[in-house]
Amino acid sequence: MDRSYGKLKTEVLKNIDMLESVATMREARSMFEYLEEIKQNLLNDRFNLVVLGEFKRGKTTFLNALLGTDILPTDVLPLTSIVTLIRFGKEIKIEVIFLNGDTKTITPGELPGYVTEAGNPGNKKKVKEVCLEHPSTYLKEGIMLIDTPGVGSIYQNNTDETYSYLPKVDAAIFLLSSDQPISQSEIGFLKDIAPYSVKIFFILNKIDYLSVTDRQKAVEFAKKVLIERVGFTEVNIFPLSAKLALEGKIEHSDKKLSESNLQSFTSTLDEFLLSEKGRATINAACHKGRNAAFELRLGVELEMKALDLPIEELKAKIELFDDMAKRLQQEQEDNSYIFKGEVNKVYHELEREISGFQEYCKETLNKEIDQIYHGQSLSGRKLMSYMESYIEDRIKVSLEEWQPEVEKKVRDVFNKVVSRFTNRTNLVIGELLKQSAEIFDLKLEGFAEIEALTDETSLYYIFGEQNTMFVPDSIKIYALFLPGFISGPMIMSEMRKKIEREIDRNCGRLRTDYNERIIKSVDGFRKQFKEKFDTVIEGTRFVLVRAVEKRESSQKETTKSYEKLSRQVAILEYAISGFNSLSSVYPR
């Protein structure tokens, strides 16, 4: 079997397609949707491979070489000033994303006007990032390449932009240059990268300038510096010529590609993706797919078993199933009420955090405006204007600093509640399927379990955008033209009222917004669980009733149905075998 991550992922998707075909034959809509979700998670799986290094080390040329085209702009001057995200697309598409959230689709020819220092000096166009979709086969395996501005140039905004992207690194490609020794700033930058990156690949670029002997000396020197000065214990450096690699790709020259040494690096990178990234991704998809296949197979086998039973015995077993399902349905309803009560813990945590923030913010701001009042000799008009702006700015900053903290605390409580309810529900569903199997002398090997909602589908939805959280309010001015000894206390009194009013107003809006979103998430979550439970009951009863109808029709009809079900079992067995084989690449 081809062990590349992309090939393994393709095989997993083929097996899921088989399961979807059986789910369609069995009219199992919920199971089909579950399988489609597994597929989409696999297809959308991303690995952030960030290209880093000092300016003019050939980062953009290297990326162009990987893509096989010179679509990204290069020049002799420090160039890239904006992060560019490069992911797979069926055709080339470039979208500029601005800081205010607006987007704009551009042509490759327009790209330099947004991502280069010459075309967008100091980021005057307020670009957040650029997304490039490209049909490169290299990107098909879920890799997202990220081109960052070089650090160490005269453009501080370029360095800042690169540093701001470090938390998003899954692995880094760090480019050094064979025509320049490792600089002190590169050493400092590498020390900064280390906490963020699981793996760093070092490339010594521009080897086409060196002889074979000098090339080896340059590699050994760079390795020595990285170990002694940066602190790496093990370093693997790939000597490479991005220029030759790009020319080889464009000119279809095997000679230049071979001389560039690009293949040596990409082979190592593929192995890393397979062992590090592939392990969790492939195993998770295989585990879910196998359990879905088990659940589908149980339904098919149950129907086949029902077709073999005498009609009266079959009807008696259906009554047993209905009684059992009714008992477990009541148990699940009890769990749902418990879940509702547990959610109150989330509200209590939220209220505790908001109330604490309100008190702290009011106390802090009142102290700060007292210091301003006693330390300034401004006129009433200027003091009023200054304090009004100061209070609004401080509340905005306080909200922005506090919100991530409250998100984490509420998320932790929410996830614990959801996790407990998820486990309870899966136990009930498992028991339902197990008892259904036992009624017909079958064995349950696994089923498609419900999962706790991820951050993206739960608490990301709860916590909305921050830019609408602050509600500015103009205060009425009564004392602008009065003497300072009279207007000062009046202004201070009004400012204290403003602090109270604005903090309460904004916290009230936050409280309402959070509560509404929690309710929506919880309702959606309960609905998801109820649908799964009801689908298992209704789906099982449907196949049993269908078996009764077939048994009451004719032997010919029964035989025809049995043959059809046998074909479904064969498909499921083949898929299960496929999942087992794929999982063996990464034994648990």
Q: Which of 416, 446, 428, 456 is nearest to 336 (CA)?
A: 428
Express each pLDDT in 134-191 by its tens digit: 998 778 767 888 887 755 443 344 445 555 555 556 678 889 988 777 878 788 878 7
Which whole number is the average pLDDT over 547-554?
A: 77
Claim: this prediction has a pTM higher than 0.85: no
Cα(292)–Cα(433) distance, rounded to whole angstroms? 13
Best-predicted range by mean pLDDT (235-244, 305-314, 429-438, 505-514): 235-244
Q: If you count them, how many residues does the chain have?
A: 588
Q: Please tell me whether residue 235 adopts helix, strand or coil conformation.
A: coil
Express each pLDDT in 209-222 by its tens digit: 888 888 888 888 88
Q: What is the pLDDT of residue 469?
A: 42
The pLDDT confidence band at residue 260, using thresholds 50, 70 and 90, is very high
Q: What is the DSSP string of 71-116?
A: -S---SS--B-S-EEEEE-SS-EEEEEETTS-EEEE-GGGTHHHHB
Q: What is the pLDDT of residue 427?
A: 82
Express each pLDDT in 178-227 by its tens digit: 877 787 878 887 876 665 555 788 999 988 888 888 888 888 888 898 88
The pLDDT confidence band at residue 575, using thresholds 50, 70 and 90, is very high
Of the CATH numbers 1.10.580.10, 3.40.50.300, 2.40.50.100, 3.30.450.20, which one belongs to the domain with range 46-260? 3.40.50.300
Q: What is the DSSP string of 175-218?
A: EEETTSPPPHHHHHHHHHHTTT-SEEEEEEE-GGGS-HHHHHHH
Q: Taking the domains of the chain in order of start, what are their residue ranges?
A: 1-44+279-308+554-588, 46-260, 310-553
Residue 359 identity: E
Q: What is the pLDDT of residue 574?
A: 95
Q: What is the DSSP letter of 453?
A: P
User: Ramachandran region of residue 53, left (φ > 0), alpha (ψ -120 to 50) or beta?
Assistant: left
Q: What is the pLDDT of residue 154?
A: 34
Express each pLDDT in 328-359 by its tens digit: 888 878 887 788 778 888 888 888 888 998 89
User: HSE of 461 in the Cβ direction (CA atoms, 13 Å)?
Assistant: 17
Express each pLDDT in 48-75 by its tens digit: 788 887 777 888 889 889 888 888 877 5
Average pLDDT over the chain reads 79
